Chain A
Amino acid sequence: MIGLTAVRQALDFGELMREHRAMVFSVAWHFLHDRDLAEEIAQDVFLSLHKNLAGIETPAHAGFWLRKVAVQRAIDAARKRQRRPQVALEDVAEPSVRPPAGDPMLGEMLRKLIATLPETPRMAMILKYQEDLDPTEIAETMGIPLGTVKSHIQRSLALLREKLERRGVGER
């Protein structure tokens, strides 16, 4: 009986890892802008899931749990690094020509600009545009008020728009 439960849990764990590893890794990577640290955090999150698997009721619960833990671990790691985002705004390259829509250069510039935002708005933006969560879900995941989430997203969008326009990247 115990053996069967262990086998079932091992199978479930493998499926959960396949389904959610990109989400967990990307939350940490987009937040920290450091691939190695993001990998380490993603591994830690799944080890923690394995330890707490008995308390996970449904696949949807697992997804919510993993996202919440990934967000918390990424924020903790950033605080442990004890410095401002590794990418300073001045380091974000000026494009020589206006990049077309979906251009990898523009994508990289946006990721670097996101990395310069303070912790809370940065994570709110990642959860909105990576995870497609609505403000209520973001507030629940991050444990902050709904109004704070909304104002962070509005202000961050305005700031990004301004920075991009200054670099010659505007509405097409």
Chain B
Amino acid sequence: MAATIIADQLTKRYRIGKGLTSLRELFAFNRQSATRTYHWAVRDVSFQLEPGDALGIIGPNGAGKTTILKLLSRVSHPSSGALHVDGRLSALIELGAGFHPDLTGRENIYLNGTILGMRRAEIKSRFDEIVAFAGIGHYLDTPVKRYSSGMYARLGFAIAAHVDPQVLLVDEVLAVGDYAFQMKCYARMAELRRNGTTLIFVSHNMEAVRRVCERGLVMYRGQAIFQGSAAEAVVAYSDAIRDAARQSQDTTAPQEDGLSQRVMTFDAEIERVQLLDAAGDAVSVLRTGAPAHLAVDVRVNRAVAHPIFSLIIRAQDGRVLYDTTTQWRKIVTPTFAAGERCRVEYALQMPLLEGSYELGIDIASADLTHFYDCLERALTFSVVGAKGAEGVVDLGATIAINKLAAPESPSPTYAMAAS
């Protein structure tokens, strides 16, 4: 199949500083200027997507994700590198950009639709669909300035998703809607992809990326540091920010390159995560049904009060199988002083069927405002042993088959057996 998007060594740099472009520079034919310093928002990023592909772009703020979307949508031009995009593109970089607050929902549908490249006739033919998707029926003739932010976002997404794009760019916009609307958006994205739309999805929500995309691209300081499956990309991202946090642990000054927001503070640090068997030895293979012990060794670098410990187990495609935190369990954790260490032990039943699984650990502050530490994939383990069943969980079915008496009653009865 022919590629819809080819990005070859895409690069975008911005000039640092506030200086105005001189008139001479504006008219100059040679735009290179040696005296300037530049910020490389995106540097040498290459990827290729085919119809129906879905690529998730993840990375911390300022890593260049939105810049890539702007380059793809032709809002911004690459400083160097080649970019080829095939067919109509619809971008959700900001929902409802181009809405005018004084105009009604109806007027804004036409306005926004034409800005996104639709013909009026096209908008007319999809009008009802758009209104139904956004769920703004009663407010169609109300100025959008009276809309709630949720309605505003729904209408914005509804219009962009009905452009029938060959390429759809979605930038971290679904966070505004409620859960039901998000589900609707995911369904719409999946539907578009079945019809051959190429999707590029930027999000901070790792579960959303895993759910929507097969492929993942991790951006870090303008560079693509990982490309592969979405599930692997999420792990690579987690490792990258952990490394970055570790390196800048003692620097309190915000950095210039956009990483001023530290994702992890390392006030408490995960030193070691082990699965232990009954004898207390570290193992990486467990048996279905056998008890397992998990030990998490933590070193406290700065005093922390009542940290929240959480454990998450995923299948290899990233689906969450089990997620539990001390907060949900209403366990009050102690307060730790700097330099203290602790071991968090989990006793687990392991009803998983044969397969490979991933285990993640994180420690968050009591108010959940930030992570102290987070290991998206602290370890991988496999489970062996259960025969005669497929799937994920051993539900321990017992099976009983009994012949019934001659069929006098017309409706057969089924017995459900539970152990």
Bound together: no
Residues of chain A touching chain B, judged by Cβ–Cβ distance below 8 Å, are none
